[in-house]
Amino acid sequence: MKIMNCPLNGPRNISEFTCLGPVHDAVDAQSVGDAAWCHYLFYQENKAGIIREWWRHTPSNYYFIAERHTVTDEIIATYSASELPRIENKS
Amino acid sequence: MPLTLLKYGLKRDYVPHREIPATPDLRRRYDVVIIGGGGHGLAAAHYLSKYHGIRNVAVLEKGYLAGGNTARNTTTIRSNYITNQSIRFYKEAVSLYEDMSHELNFNVMFSQRGQLTLAHSEATLRSFHLRAEMGKHHGTRISVVDPRQVKEICPHLNMDEGGQHEILGGLWHEDGGTARHDAVAWGYAAQAARRGVEIHQRTEVLGFDTSGDKVSAIRTSRGTVSVGHVIQAAGGANQHVAKLAGIDMPIRCFPLQAMVTQPLKPFLHTLVSSANLHTYLVQSSRGEIVIGGGSDPYQLISTRSTLDLKEQLAHGAVQLFPFLHNVKLLRQWAGITDMTPDYTPIMGASPLKNYWLDCGWGTWGFKATPVAGKYLADTVANERVADILLPFSLGRFEKMALINEMGATAASH
């Protein structure tokens, strides 16, 4: 069984979690053009390497961020969404 | 006969007939280059060379012939879709399979034995009624059956009366069937090669040279070739290859896992699937039970299997056929599926004028092998997207003209 480290609940079985897809920038639905709106809805990160994703610990409904390698299937890091701006600024 | 055989056996310089010639050196120019030596690419090569007289064609394959998703799928052929565009397209796929052994002069072992999809809830049954009516409207053989009929069609099923997964009915699709995946790819490859198409195995595409809005040359691991037209049919690598050409794709990759058991006496005549259990089963002509199921729960670009998913497949199989509990597994594998947001492929034009797409085949590509090949060849020969492919364009996302086929497979939801 694969173990994921939940920032709130500690290490848990990965079957307790739901993957919600890659982190991407929000757009303003009122002002955005068709092409950018389409891109926001349908185009997601799919690289062979480390990607940053939203995950949820399903029983506690806690949302957080995980960094995962899509080729080796390794979980590199997990952290609270509140740390996201600080980490994105650094990278 | 035995004497002739003996003569050949003793002859020192006897060269056996090769249906797929060894990989030749790359020429400097091809009228059409097909990226991807899987079923779809080889079918396109066949149709180009046989029906359009375009024979200066190269198929570039990074690995070996048909070793990607053509070899990793579970060979279900069916047309029980729910939108007009899809049913029309997949119905033709089924009819092309019916004639394929004759077309290719190669036995693809097409076995049209019907597919039974099971309903374990009232909600599923309701969706089956809609699906059946859509299919009937287009002239496919499909109907909703009650538990008694399910038992008649597939007597070995565990009906689980009163249990958690009680079978309340099914969707009986008589046009459904299966074929030998290697034979399909080899049949197309042999026919295309006989007409002069070059198949370049172990030839990786590294990049593209463009002039204006056209691709002028392809850089490969074995040299650069200039091209008239390009067809991209690269399976799990579609997003990667499109990126090399500067094209963004709404694709995410998920592994899809499957496995086969040891051979058993024939008992399962139909293809059986259950979306609730994320499981589908078919008995191959060798007697092995092929078990397929749900995609991995998060995206990966890897063909490594996981114990979790294999357990899930085994659980579904044993729920439907409890007597399989002590059967041994022979082989297991995973393929990388290129999933689109609406579970429908992306075919036809791209932002580059001479670059044609055959992408986003996710978990539903094998059944479309002949029809995709046929109309891609048609598209390239006429330099105009065939009418039947128009709804599947890359541009549909921007126009919000999605074709939702999420419920069409037991694989991914």
DSSP character string of B56-119: -EEEE-SSSTT-SHHHHS--EE----SSHHHHHHHHHHHHHHHTHHHHHTS----B---EEEEE
For chain B positions 364-403, those within 8 Å of chain A (CB to CB) are 397-398, 400
What is the pTM assigned to this prediction?
Answer: 0.94
Amino acid B410: pLDDT: 58
Facing B251 at nearest CB: one of A46, A48, A71: A46
Distance from CA of B87 to the nearest CA of A (A): 24
Taken in order of first residue, the domains within chain B and their CATH numbers are 23-73+182-250+342-408 (3.50.50.60), 114-174+253-339 (3.30.9.10)
| Yes or no, beta carbons of A19 and B239 under 8 Å apart | no
CA distance B32 to chain A (A): 28
Sign of the torsion angle spanned by Cα atoms B184, B383, B36, B297: negative
The pLDDT assigned to B12 comes to: 81
Instruction: Render each residue's pLDDT in chain B as its tens digit; 413 residues.
Output: 688 888 877 888 877 788 899 999 999 999 999 999 999 999 999 999 999 999 999 999 999 999 999 999 999 999 999 999 999 999 999 999 999 999 999 999 999 999 999 999 999 999 999 999 999 999 999 999 999 999 999 999 999 999 999 999 999 999 999 999 999 999 999 999 999 999 999 999 999 999 999 999 999 999 999 999 999 999 999 999 999 999 999 999 999 999 999 999 999 999 999 988 999 999 999 999 999 988 999 999 999 999 999 999 999 999 999 999 999 999 999 999 999 999 999 999 999 999 999 999 999 999 999 999 999 999 999 999 999 999 999 999 999 999 999 887 655 54
- For residue A59, give the nearest of A10, A14, A15, A16 by alpha carbon: A16
B303 touches chain A (CB under 8 A): no
B187 closest CA partner among B110, B111, B112, B103: B103
Give the pLDDT score at B96: 98
d(CA B411, CA B299): 14
Mean pLDDT of chain A: 93
Tell me how close the Cα of A83 comes to any Cα of chain B, in angstroms.
23
Task: Decide if B299 and A35 are in contact by the 8 Å CB cutoff.
Answer: no
Tokens of A64: 């957080």
Chain B's closest residue to A70, CA to CA, is B300
Give B323's DSSP letter: G
Q: Hey, where are the domains in chain A? A: 3-24+33-90
Residue B413: its pLDDT value, please?
45
Q: How far is B243 from chain A (nearest CA, A)?
A: 10
**Cα B387 to Cα B375: distance, rounded to the nearest angstrom:** 9
B-chain residues near A48 (CB < 8 A): 240, 301
What's the pLDDT at A88?
A: 78
In angstroms, the separation between the Cα of residue A71 and the nearest Cα of chain B is 5
- Give the pLDDT confidence score for residue A87 in this predicted structure: 78
User: What gap in Å lies between CA B341 and CA B313, rounded to an integer?
Assistant: 24
pLDDT average, residue stretch A78-87: 89
Task: Record the tokens describing residue B392, joined without a space.
Answer: 């599947």
CATH architecture of the domain A3-24+33-90 equals 2-Layer Sandwich (3.30)
| Residues B297, A19: C-beta atoms closer than 8 Å | yes
Nearest CB to B397: which of A42, A44, A48? Answer: A42
Across the interface, whether the CB atoms of A72 and B341 are under 8 A apart is answered: no
Distance from C-alpha of B190 to C-alpha of B8, rounded to nearest angstrom: 23
